[in-house]
A = this chain, B = another copy of it.
Amino acid sequence: MSFVPIRKILDGCCEDQKVALRGWVYRKREGKQTVFLIIRDSSGIIQCPVKKESKAWSQAEKVTIESSLTLEGTVKKDTRAPGGWEIVTEKISIIGLAELFPITKSQSEEFLRDVRHLWLRSRRMNLVMKVRSEVQRFTHEFFKRQEFVEVSPPMFITSACEGGSTLFGLKYFDQNMYLTQSAQLYLEILIYSLEKVYCVAPSFRAEKSRTIRHLTEYWHIEAEQAFADMKDLMLLEEELMAYICRRTVESCKREFEELAADISKLASVKTPFPKITYTEAIEKLNAKQFKIEWGDDLGYEEEKALADNFGKPFFIHDYPKQIQAFYCKTPKDNPQLAMSTDMLVPRIGEISTGGAREDDKEKLVARLKEMGLREKDYDWYIDLRRYGTVPHVGFGMGLERLLTWMLDLENIIDAIPFPRTVRRFYP
């Protein structure tokens, strides 16, 4: 027996034909003359009425929410049915009869997180995970077209990328090691061989932040490019973003519709993006009654205020050196600045951070000292400037932050199947 995906039936493949389905009972409504089953499979949901006179009646009565089954019947157009189609059911074979399913209609967010392994079956999570998969695909597609080579950074690292306060440590046999929070320094190694490299890989941050935009374990889209400057960097980032948005609009229209998410926002993403300097950002914020001084870090509230004002993705660049990492390059004409840039989006704020990396060995070493970091901990990193240094840039973008913005998710935890936060790490 060959089974038809529900999506195909909803697309009108099989009017008045006999079909076989395979899936799970999503909803059940019992009438005296008819049992209405809503059946789900990976592709969609469809109404399957079972009439009392049908041979399937006893099975339809017996079957419980989330039971797995195969079902045979005739496809009928019916404007009253959700999706416009239904299957008048003639036969049901139960595969796995489910015990009483714990998720019912109006359950708390907290409970749904407790039973994440079951909640992932919801139509909502099914759709979000499909969009996530597509966004990953388009990311690879974009970088391939741009002739970047995909590489795999290490998860176990010996020294910290940006200081150690938010690193997870662990015992590695007899050594103390850490989990990576960015592939950047390793991608920098690889540009000396491959010039343009990227990765999509886990990163870890031991931050106790409990916000809608923090995970302790997230997937990081990172890229590094040799012989490139800030202009190239912002172009690369905005083109990536525009490419992902455009391809998602083409590919995931239905998912967005069913999720009631605003796809027009993605369609309107066009290059070039607006770009403001950090100094301009501070001015804008002070004009909005924020009390913030030049040199202060932008927090979530500040980022959100700026981003909501733009209403679309944009860049802030040229941050004060004092709030940036040791590897940031300084512009020749202004030693107070760092050649770094963040991309921000409405509601979420920062979704990517990048910049030009200091390529002068002496300046890099001076900066390490200035920041109280030990030169010998960065020995191999300094080697990259010792042997054939080149100007280069790179960035990291949080895949889940990107998805949270794209899909209008209330919380970043829904952008990943098994979210890890300070309080949540099960299942």
Interface residues of A (CB under 8 A from B): 3, 22, 24-25, 41-42, 66-68, 95-96, 98-99, 101, 115, 117-118, 120-122, 125-126, 129-130, 132-133, 136-137, 140, 144, 149-156, 158, 168-173, 175, 177, 179, 186, 189-190, 192-196, 201-202, 204, 206, 208, 216-217, 219, 227, 359, 380, 383-391, 416-418, 420, 422, 425-427
Contact = CB atoms under 8 A, between A and B. Distances in A.
B149 A133 contact: yes
B156 A129 contact: no
Contact of A121 (B99, B150, B193, B204): B193
B172 A427 contact: no
Which of A22, A42, A196, A380 is packed against the most chain B CB atoms within 10 Å?
A42
B417 A151 contact: yes
Contact of A389 (B68, B120, B121): B68
Number of copies: 2
A240 to B, nearest CB: 17
B136 A150 contact: yes
A96 B388 contact: yes
A341 B193 CA distance: 39
B121 A192 contact: yes
Given A129-B190, A193-B125, A359 B96 contact: yes
11 contacts: A42-B193, A68-B389, A68-B390, A96-B390, A101-B387, A129-B190, A137-B144, A152-B202, A155-B217, A172-B425, A189-B427
A55 B17 CA distance: 80
B129 A420 contact: no
